[in-house]
């Protein structure tokens, strides 16, 4: 239901690849709620995805940018402010990648060059995005900056591999930079720790189907879908959450607070 929660708000959305992307769903909901935004992704991802279809659907423009390149990010913010006619009210960072996961490397046998690449893409890029916005003074007061994460940053999921470390790094950056943004501009910075969701990136994790089924049985409300996550993100971009910052917000149907569920006990109980 559209009720113009984001009417007049302007932003940048990173990471929409196709209709399975959480960023795609967030862009659709933001458009429904009255926001204007620029869409961006790395050039290689844009060749693989369907971002231009999303741009047409939401009346948005696409500005390619590699989030690990300061030159690309400065160009992105300059063009976004020109296209949107002013400073930003929100930024979504929905970027994550592990070469080690893609290549099937075990956590006990990581390629450290690949590890560094994963840190840069998945976590340091969030700092880069905020640093460029900070130095350009690109955010309006009381704006909102949001990134997506997963509970493997706090708890061990063996097959999530070095992505767990990347997400822990991402969450720390949100807290550290969130303090600075809050003091200077009353901008809040948060992360959403989402249920396992069948996106293009998530589906590449070994045993991902098992993750989803287990989480569904553990969560009192069931897994949160990509559409559910989009609704939550909209609330965090809106003025309804002006005093929520530096938080890692679990959006997982109660999974993170459940020790064990009856469904899981029944599944493993011996006769």
CB contact at 8 A, 124 and 224: no
What percentage of the chain has pLDDT greater than the value 70?
Answer: 95
270 pLDDT tier (thresholds 50, 70, 90): low
The per-residue pLDDT for range 39-95, each reduced to its tens digit, is 999 988 777 779 999 999 999 999 999 999 999 999 999 999 999 999 999 999 999
Q: In the predicted model, what is the mean pLDDT of residues 198-221?
A: 78
210 pLDDT tier (thresholds 50, 70, 90): confident
Q: Which of 145, 119, 147 is nearest to 133 (CA)?
A: 145
Q: Which residues are annotated as a binding site for NAD(+)?
A: 15, 21-22, 95, 167
Provide the pLDDT for residue 202: 56
Distance CA 17, CA 8 (A): 25
* Residues 177, 240, 37, 176, Cα dihedral to 10°: 10
pTM recorded for the entire structure: 0.94
In the beta sheet, which residues pair with residue 144? 90, 188
Q: In the predicted model, what is the mean pLDDT of residues 219-237?
A: 97
The pLDDT of residue 10 is above 60: yes
DSSP class of 30: H
The per-residue pLDDT for range 168-196, each reduced to its tens digit, is 999 999 999 999 999 999 999 999 999 99
Provide the pLDDT for residue 206: 64
Domain spans of the chain?
A: 10-268
Instruction: Look up the CATH superfamily of 10-268.
Output: NAD(P)-binding Rossmann-like Domain (3.40.50.720)
Provide the pLDDT for residue 205: 62
DSSP class of 13: E
Q: Which residues are annotated as a binding site?
A: 15, 21-22, 95, 167
Cα 141 to Cα 11, 33, 101, 156, 162: the distances in Å are 13, 20, 39, 37, 35
The pLDDT of residue 203 is above 60: no
Q: Which residues are catalytically annotated?
A: 150, 160
The per-residue pLDDT for range 105-127, each reduced to its tens digit, is 999 999 999 999 999 999 999 99
Task: For the chain, state the CA radius of gyration.
Answer: 18
Provide the pLDDT for residue 64: 96
């Amino acid at each position: 239901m559209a009720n113009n929660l984001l009417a007049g708000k302007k932003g940048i959305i990173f990471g929409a690849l196709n209709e399975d992307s959480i960023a795609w769903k967030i862009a659709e909901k933001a458009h429904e709620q009255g926001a204007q935004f620029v869409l961006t992704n790395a050039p290689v991802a844009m060749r693989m995805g369907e971002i231009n279809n999303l741009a047409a659907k939401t009346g948005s423009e696409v500005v390619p940018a590699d989030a690990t390149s300061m030159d690309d990010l400065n160009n992105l913010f300059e063009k976004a402010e020109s296209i949107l006619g002013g400073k930003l009210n929100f930024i979504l960072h929905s970027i994550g990648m592990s070469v080690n996961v893609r290549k099937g490397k075990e956590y006990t046998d990581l390629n450290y060059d690949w590890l560094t690449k994963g840190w840069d893409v998945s976590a340091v890029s969030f700092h880069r995005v905020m640093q460029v916005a900070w130095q350009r003074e690109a955010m309006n007061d009381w704006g909102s900056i949001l990134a997506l994460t997963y509970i493997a940053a706090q708890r061990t999921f063996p097959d999530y591999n070095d992505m767990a470390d990347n997400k822990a790094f991402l969450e720390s950056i949100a807290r550290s930079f969130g303090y600075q943004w809050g003091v200077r501009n009353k901008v809040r910075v948060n992360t959403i720790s989402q249920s396992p969701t069948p996106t293009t990136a998530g589906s590449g994790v070994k045993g991902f189907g098992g993750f989803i089924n287990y989480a569904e049985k553990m969560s009192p409300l069931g897994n949160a879908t990509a559409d559910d996550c989009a609704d939550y993100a909209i609330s965090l971009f809106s003025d309804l959450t002006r005093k929520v910052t530096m938080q890692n917000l679990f959006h997982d149907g109660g999974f993170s607070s459940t020790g064990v569920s009856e469904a899981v006990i029944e599944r493993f109980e011996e006769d």
